[in-house]
Amino acid sequence: MRSRLYDLTALSLPGGLVSLPALREYQLAGVNKTLQTVHSRSRFYAGRADIPPAIERLEQLADLPFTTENDLKRGLEDFLCISPGAVARIVTLPTSGSTGPSKRIGFSDGDIEAIITFFRYGMQEMAGPGMRVMIGLPGTAEYGVPHLLATALQTFGVTPLPYGAITDFDAAARFVCQQQPNCIVAHPVQLLGLAAHMAQLPTPTPAWPQTVLLTGDTVSPHLLARVERGLHCKAFNHYGSTEMGYGGAVDCGCHQGLHLRENDLFFEVVHPDTGRPVPPGQAGELVFTTLTRTAMPLVRYRTGDMTCLQPATCSCTSPLPRISPPWRRAGGRLRVGGFELTLPLLDDCVFALDGITDCQLWIKPDDTLILEIWTTGAGQDLAGLPLRLQQTELLQKLAAHRPLEVVTAPPGAPPPCTQGKRLFRAFRA
């Protein structure tokens, strides 16, 4: 079956048919609408010689300047293109640096409606009328992600089961057994922890969900496969950020990359250092321009997330472009000897081993690396996992350049997935 985002995009195109030329023509019109709007109404973009009021070809967008997280620190007012009274929701986010001002993102009623529509179509990949979806995401604010997701699910007859972040696997497993959701939406590593915990439960047999949606962090293929095996379900992967209006991309049942939200956003993948577009198949930073946003349109916003445009067409036959699962560049890479260790590389190595449910790479002041792992599993040699990890090609490569220890977290230590974004961290004694 074709990606549901195909159906969503088709709504915007003449004749309801998605072809790449028709999509690009629609996106060029959307980019120009955004350029005209910000040119006349945004304090940050207005009157700038390097921001033209229109372009003739989408390729010309690559010559325009980027908008960065630093720019957003100037304040919401500098980016607003509607009156402050018409802003329906403001989200305040911490910025990458540990200090300095936070960034604020504003949405209009129309922007919120577009988010709900994206969720409605994206969720139809994994849930249908009469089903129940457990929302294992943090936050209770009106217009926050769990609230908007619940609203979107109700529009097609699905009952949302709000739960919150999965920080206590036992409590979450009890909730799943009692409520028997058909689908669970949650953080990838939290779901892996839940799957490992549920696999150990005594009778009665747990009620397994049929599908899960992993969202909010990097997803390695091994992790996705283990969640599928552990929960006896089909797993889907979603990527998004507040700046892009929560939703950005979601995979179809073919698992060949994430289809992009092309009806609301125009995406580019650029070299993180030169800023020039990179060809499909090559990793670069994901950049987007909003096409339909009214409160706070953004031109060429640098997400700080690395990804790769997939070169071939998806088996679902949708012509919509796809990306590989993105990962955070800041805090998720480390130069060791002659190569760059990234969070996806580490995840691929660590989550390939059954029994490991989470990990944290610590960097000591003397450059020693400590890889701490969390383990769960009945009938497995958990004590032997550190040694098995040390024997992997990746860790052998690391150990050739830096002292490296692999340790198992002490019993009861909260896993990193329950503490926010997973990053490489400086060791705190």
- Given the rule CB under 5 A, which residues bind Zn ion? 3, 252, 254, 314, 316, 318
Tokens of 109: 């009623």
Q: Pick the closer one to Zn ion by CB: 254 or 370.
A: 254
Helix (H) or strand (E) holding 197: helix 188-199
The two tokens of residue 45 are 């973009």
Asked if residue 379 lies in contact with residue 345, where contact means CB atoms within 8 angstroms, the answer is no
Nearer to Zn ion by C-beta: 3 or 263? Answer: 3
CB of 263 vs Zn ion, minimal distance in Å: 16
Q: Are 213 and 184 in contact (CB under 8 A)?
A: yes
Backbone angles phi, psi at 70, to 5 degrees: -60, -40
CB of 122 to Zn ion, least distance (A): 12
Measured CA to CA, the distance from residue 195 to residue 354 in angstroms comes to 12
Q: Which is nearer to Zn ion, 254 or 363 (CB)?
A: 254
The pair phi, psi for residue 192, each rounded to 5°, is -65, -45
Q: Which is nearer to Zn ion, 207 or 312 (CB)?
A: 312
Q: Which two tokens stand for residue 147?
A: 């609230």
CB of 323 to Zn ion, least distance (A): 12
Cβ at position 262, least distance to Zn ion in Å: 13
∠ CA(44), CA(247), CA(13), 5° rounding? 90
Instruction: Give least dist CB 420 to Zn ion, A.
Output: 31
CB nearer to Zn ion: give 173 or 316.
316
Show the DSSP H helices in 236-327 as ranges. none
Nearer to Zn ion, 302 or 322 (CB): 322
* Cα 302–chain centre separation: 15
Residue 308 CB, shortest distance to Zn ion, in Å, is 16
Structure tokens at 69: 């997280």
